[in-house]
Structure 1
Amino acid sequence: MVELSRRARRLGRRADNSDWVDRAAGLGLIAYGVVHLVVGWLAVQLAVGDHSGEASPTGAIGELADRPYGAVIVWATAVGLYLLVIWQLIEAAAGHRFARRRTWKRLLSGCKAIVYGALGTSALKVALGSGAQGNERKTDDATARLMDLPAGQALVAAVGAVIIGIGVNLLRLGFTDKFLKSFDGKGRSGTTGTAYTWLGRVGHVAKGLALCMVGVLFGWAALTHDPDRSGGLDAALREVLSQPFGPALLTVIGLGFCCYGLYCFAWARHLDR
């Protein structure tokens, strides 16, 4: 058993050091960037009065399916997102060996794998023809089922708190430039590096604000015991739209998501694991 454990650790380290993992992560980040670009575009469309689309990752995947060669694009997106899952699972098992708070970083990689897996599954369903519409209704239904459990309100509030925590962490990364740690030297230097830095700053802040709003919706649903007051990203962005100067604010957030998508492309090119 001890020998098997040692062999597994060696295999994990070998995989973590593999150039193939770098290539897989890069392809996955490109797919992730495409999803954020489309989310940003849908948010801007919502701001200018087109309410037909769902400004969320699943809505973005559905939008991609409706474009020319949509099936090919969605299949490629699904594959890319599952490559991100493999990358983060390897990081969770054998990565971050020389990092401070290694256990925490590996746990975070495991959580990222779950998020990427959920998005990849949404893309796979669209590719297979199941569709990705009605995601906000599914969120409400899931919140209602969670709220019916013992201590359900507390559980929904906890979900909201976790989402807010993720949003705050994105804001922290955006304001401190710590996201640049995952870029190689070329990606951080010169005029190009400055452009990448600003894309990362704006993208992280916009996405962080949006996720904080999603978390607030979950918290409000828990407080009022009304699952219909919860919702995903699309509901949060529509809530922004209803505020004073809502269209302008939503346009800024949408453009911020586009910046995050472009940042993902830069990250794929200059990835330093």
Structure 2
Amino acid sequence: MDDDTAKDGLKWIMRAGYGARGAIYTLVGGLALLAAFKSTNAQGTKDALATLRNEPYGVPALWAIGIGLFAYLVWRVVAGVKDVEDHGTDAKGLFARGAQVITGLIHGGIGISVIGLAMGGQGGGSGDSAQDWTQKLMSMPMGRYVVAAVALVLLGAGIYYAQKGWRGTYKSHLARSQVTEKVDPLITIGLVVYGAILAMVAMSLGYAALTADPAQAGGLGQALHQLRSMAFGRILLGGAGLGLVLFAVYNFVEAGYRIIPRISGPDIKSLID
């Protein structure tokens, strides 16, 4: 990618994508925080976006988020195919690049549902979408094994995000500035909490595969409900909500300060330098 215009365009596409992710987790985390202190239910991504649709300017906000998620799709696919982040062509690098493409496609799928919601579609209720697609997968040949594989991939993603925060490996991807230095500790917390919640979702899918019972599967909303039902549930749910908001902060910081090796140039100092 030698053309400066194309490079600048990719930067802005990346920023729109991370900004959309930040908006979603701000919404989900904020509602979880509210549920921790009031008699309301914590909501997963789908229900949280449905709630947004009923607010003033909710529909334009959904359009912006949906378009942003499509931008994230473009960014991740281009990053994976063109290797603009220098992962390389060894086994580890190819795995990382493949993961970029897959996560981009997943977010593109979410973007389609968000646009559908903005156009007047129904937002779904009680956070049971994970159960719906789990049931569909289990009805297929070898469906239980497919669900188990999804659970393992999601567990791996949870571990990845948690260790990324705990070990601070994300620092090499963020440019050093007053902003990134100040929010660095918050990013650590956000990544660890997000990773732990992903692991909870993975375990519910794994249990559904083990028992051949799609009703055991749950998404983000179900994980938050489980936290609320535990001892000290309000505290746990509040901590999860705060962690998701901090994960949103991480995405917003990525939008503004992410280092792209083949685009940003070699002279930019990262948080790890």
Match of 2:234 in 1: 247
1:264 aligns with 2:251: yes
SS state at 1:132 partner = coil
Match of 2:271 in 1: none
Aligned length: 257
1:162: how far off? 1.3
Residues 46 and 127 in structure 2, CA contact (< 8 A), matched pair in contact too: no
Matches within 5 A, 1:58-69: 58-69=46-57
1:164 aligns with 2:155: yes
Q: Which whole-Å CA distance do the structure 1 matches of 2:5 and 2:86 have between them? A: 13
1:98 aligns with 2:86: yes
1:48: how far off? 2.6
Match of 2:114 in 1: 123
1:45 aligns with 2:34: yes
SS state at 1:25 partner = helix
Match of 1:177 in 2: 168
Q: Which amino acid aligns with 2:226?
A: E
Match of 1:212 in 2: 199
> Which of the numbers 56, 61, 76 marks the counterpart of 1:73?
61
Match of 1:153 in 2: 144
95-104 or 76-85: bigger deviation: 95-104
Distance 1:14 1:116, change over 3 A: farther
1:74: how far off? 0.8
1:97: how far off? 6.2
1:153: how far off? 2.4
Residues 170 and 208 in structure 1, CA contact (< 8 A), matched pair in contact too: yes
Cα deviations by residue, 1:49-83 (Å, 9 ceiling, x for unpaired): 4335x622222222221221111111111111111
Q: Which amino acid aligns with 2:252?
A: F
1:200 aligns with 2:191: no
1:233 aligns with 2:220: yes
Q: Which whole-Å CA distance do the structure 1 matches of 2:115 and 2:106 have between them? A: 14
Unaligned 5+ segments in structure 2 are 261-273
> Which of the numbers 127, 142, 146 marks the counterpart of 1:136?
127
Q: Which whole-Å CA distance do the structure 2 matches of 1:51 and 1:155 have between them? A: 34
Q: Which amino acid aligns with 1:266?
A: V
Please give the root-mean-square deviation of Cα atoms over the aligned residues, in Å: 2.0
171-180 or 92-101: bigger deviation: 92-101
Unaligned 5+ segments in structure 1 are 1-11
1:181: how far off? 2.2
Distance 1:111 1:16, change over 3 A: farther
SS state at 1:102 partner = helix
Distance 1:69 1:245, change over 3 A: same
What percent identity do the matched residue pairs reach?
27
1:155: how far off? 2.2
Cα deviations by residue, 1:162-204 (Å, 9 ceiling, x for unpaired): 1111111010101011112221232xxx5x3332211211111
Residues 58 and 135 in structure 1, CA contact (< 8 A), matched pair in contact too: no
TM-score (norm 2): 0.87
Match of 1:5 in 2: none
Q: Which whole-Å CA distance do the structure 2 matches of 1:236 and 1:131 have between them? A: 22
Runs of 4+ aligned structure 1 residues displaced above 4 Å come to: 12-17
Distance 1:135 1:114, change over 3 A: farther
